[in-house]
Structure 1
Amino acid sequence: MAPSIRLSPATCSLFDEPLAIAVQGLGPRQQVTLRTSLRDETGELFQASAHYQAGDDGELDLARCPALPGGSFSGLEPMGLLWALQPQKPFWRLVKRDVQSPFLLQLEVFEGHGERPGRLLAQAQHERAFLRDGVRRVPVREGRIRATLFLPPGEDTFPGIIDIHGLGGGLFEPRASLLANHGFATLALAYYQFEDLPQEPKELHLEYFEEAVNYMLQHPQVKGPGVGLLGFSKGGEVSLALAAFLKNIMAVA
């Protein structure tokens, strides 16, 4: 039997979902190198690799077989080939802007542990998506608010979260989309350098963020009596200020 890669889920998984990786059809205790590759939306390449040795039965399950020294990581790391992805361009960050399209992950199995890849034994592709089937992405342009609302499938009411990103500008949607996959009505809120919003965050007015809170509380699919705030970097500072001065803020993270 020729070597092949076995993935679970097989063809597509959510970006924050565990991906089980195994290789079957190898020789007993055969040494191989596994490599993952991914290109971001600008075309920049990210890669990770690890050295492994198959079992006596020719099976290699990353949940049971530790990576050997010499690759991007070592030890028992079932998801190591994903979290260890590094850019070929120094200091480049993996950023997702269009959550409606998945990242395409390439997996390859090479013979041996050499510095250069040996003979290609098997390969597979897998999509890492940001939206579960049925999750709705709703652009919001209400009053001054510039945002995107992500709603879980169904017509029920859901706990509400406002996601406030840090400095960098624009509208950052990945985290909000992933939260909606898990049952939260999540508003990804821009506050500068997006459409007609200010280009620089010289002054931040809490009234703008209060307007977003009120929008969520009045939405028919947001479960009251309050909402949670999720802030990163500058967004964390804004979230703490909102919790100090506004009612109906139930949690801050």
Structure 2
Amino acid sequence: MLRAVSRCAAAGLCSTPAVLSTHRPVCVSVSPQSGLADEELHVRVQGLSPGAPVTLRAVAADEQGCLFDSCAQYEADGSGCVDLRREGSLGGDYSGGLPMGLLWALSPCVMEAPYRRLQRSSVHEALRLEVLVHRGHSHPEALPGALLAKGRCERLFLAPGVRRIRLREGAVRGSLFLPPGEGPFPGVIDMFGDDGGLVEYRSSLLASRGFASLALPYFAFEDLPPAMTEFHLEYFEEAANFLTRHPKVGGSGVGVIGSGKGADLALSMITFLPQVIAAVSISGCCANTAAPLSYKDITIPALAYNMSRVKISQSAVFDVSEALDDPLDPANSQCLIPIEKAQGSFLFIVGEDDRNWKSSVYAKAAVSRLQESGKSTYNLISYPGAGHRIDPPCSPFCPVAVDRVLGVPILSGGELKAHCQAQEDSWQKIQDFLHTHLQ
């Protein structure tokens, strides 16, 4: 209850006046005050006494009003300043020199339901973040000291001038994001995993970085199938044709980026669709999963799940890392995606602590198949300590999240620092890869 009270106060729900230093006003700057969600934040506190202990807290709310927060302990330097780019945290939700730690460590407040992700469903609304400075060192579960200063910023998912166009083109549904200017721009299809629905935040950020990006749902949205019972690659072909022919899209083909289930769909697209010339697989599998995939006279069966191999922890968190059948077992060879037939380029991004499934093993197997067929247009980036959900940078770390389909908390894996650094590093490498192969 103490943490609940403190976090309500931190969120501005209590009218606690700011307390000033005995010598000069304490102030906190958060910059940029308004910037894209994939930009690094710079937090700096001034006006403290040299060596003064303080606790910094960050607070944000999602679109449903659920509160998220984080905290870390610092000491002022000789000039009375705490600069998160220079000083390391002494404790709290993280320790050490993590300039973005307050943002990375955001998690549901104690009064909220656990295992919720801080994820934007409306990219038109900014994520508003509040940073508070409290006197003394307090732990996450304790009531914080007196409030010394408060700063705010907003995290945008659309750069000025980016256009969002809701798409109902033939059978294809989704949102097309176009950068400002005449173009033409490199075109990218963006897909996520088995949560379903329309997920736009990565596409909107890609458009903000110069890509014409199509956020493509494939089930549980509008008149699309409500569940993953079967996949027809013709749907994804229609989306690729639409994007290829769009007057704002240039180059000799389009790219595709997918996470989780969306990643093996991306591999199927580049394998069978000649207009797809670059594929980014994030935490994916080298086999078709979830449901059979058909294209013309070809059908690839789905790799099966065996729920008897699921482990449940004492805190009721489900570990499904062993549930998927082994795609490398010769008995499952018919489920493998024949990526050796593809003519395009591949980028595989995986976390070595992925506990959703063994994406690191699957990516290495995919690379081996490409090597055996004499292909060299691939790159595998494997991040030690990173988990399953590798999102754009500055996305809060979420090692456990409630699965939309199963309705239970699923272990994703990873460690805060390693995972969030993987998000930062991979985001730039994804953009470089797509620019290189789509120009």
Query: TM-score, with normalisation over the residues of structure 1?
Result: 0.97
Pairs within 5 Å for 1:128-207 = 128-207=155-234
Q: Determine the structure 2 residue equivalent to 1:79.
A: 100
Query: Equivalents in 2 of 1:126, 1:6: separation in Å?
Result: 9
Paired residue secondary structure (2:231): coil
Q: Determine the structure 1 residue equivalent to 2:117.
A: 93
Pairs within 5 Å for 1:13-32 = 13-32=35-54
Contact conserved, 2:60 with 2:67, CA < 8 A, in 1?
yes
The percent identity for this pair of structures is: 49
Q: Determine the structure 2 residue equivalent to 1:4.
A: 27
* Aligned partner letter, 1:211: E
**1:105 aligned to 129, 134, 157, which one?**
129
Paired residue secondary structure (1:161): strand
Query: In the alignment, is residue 63 of structure 1 matched against residue 79 of structure 2?
Result: no
The Cα of 1:250 is off from its aligned counterpart by: 1.7
The Cα of 1:169 is off from its aligned counterpart by: 1.5
The structure carrying a bigger helix percent of its residues is 2
The Cα of 1:187 is off from its aligned counterpart by: 0.2
Query: In the alignment, is residue 208 of structure 1 matched against residue 232 of structure 2?
Result: no
Q: Determine the structure 2 residue equivalent to 1:220.
A: 247
Q: Structure 2 regions of 5+ residues with no counterpart?
A: 1-23, 281-439
Query: Equivalents in 2 of 1:180, 1:228: separation in Å?
Result: 13
The Cα of 1:248 is off from its aligned counterpart by: 2.1
The Cα of 1:7 is off from its aligned counterpart by: 2.0
* Aligned partner letter, 1:117: P
Runs of 4+ in 1 over 3 A off after TM superposition: none
Q: Higher relative contact order at CA 8 Å, sep ≥6: structure 1 or structure 2?
A: 1
* Aligned partner letter, 2:77: G
The Cα of 1:33 is off from its aligned counterpart by: 0.2
Query: TM-score, with normalisation over the residues of structure 2?
Result: 0.56
The Cα of 1:94 is off from its aligned counterpart by: 1.6
Q: Determine the structure 1 residue equivalent to 2:61.
A: 39
The structure carrying a bigger strand percent of its residues is 1
Paired residue secondary structure (2:169): coil
* Aligned partner letter, 1:76: G
* Aligned partner letter, 1:150: F
The Cα offsets for residues 130-149 of structure 1, whole Å up to 9 and x where unpaired, read as: 00111111111110110100
The Cα offsets for residues 117-163 of structure 1, whole Å up to 9 and x where unpaired, read as: 00000001111110011111111111011010011111111111000
The Cα of 1:214 is off from its aligned counterpart by: 0.1
**1:232 aligned to 242, 250, 259, which one?**
259
The Cα of 1:224 is off from its aligned counterpart by: 2.1
Q: Structure 1 regions of 5+ residues with no counterpart?
A: none
The Cα of 1:92 is off from its aligned counterpart by: 1.0
* Aligned partner letter, 1:46: F
The Cα offsets for residues 226-251 of structure 1, whole Å up to 9 and x where unpaired, read as: 11110011111111111111102221
Query: Equivalents in 2 of 1:65, 1:129: separation in Å?
Result: 27
Measured on the aligned residues, the alpha-carbon RMSD in Å equals 0.9
The Cα offsets for residues 162-217 of structure 1, whole Å up to 9 and x where unpaired, read as: 00111112100000001111111100001111111111110110000000000000
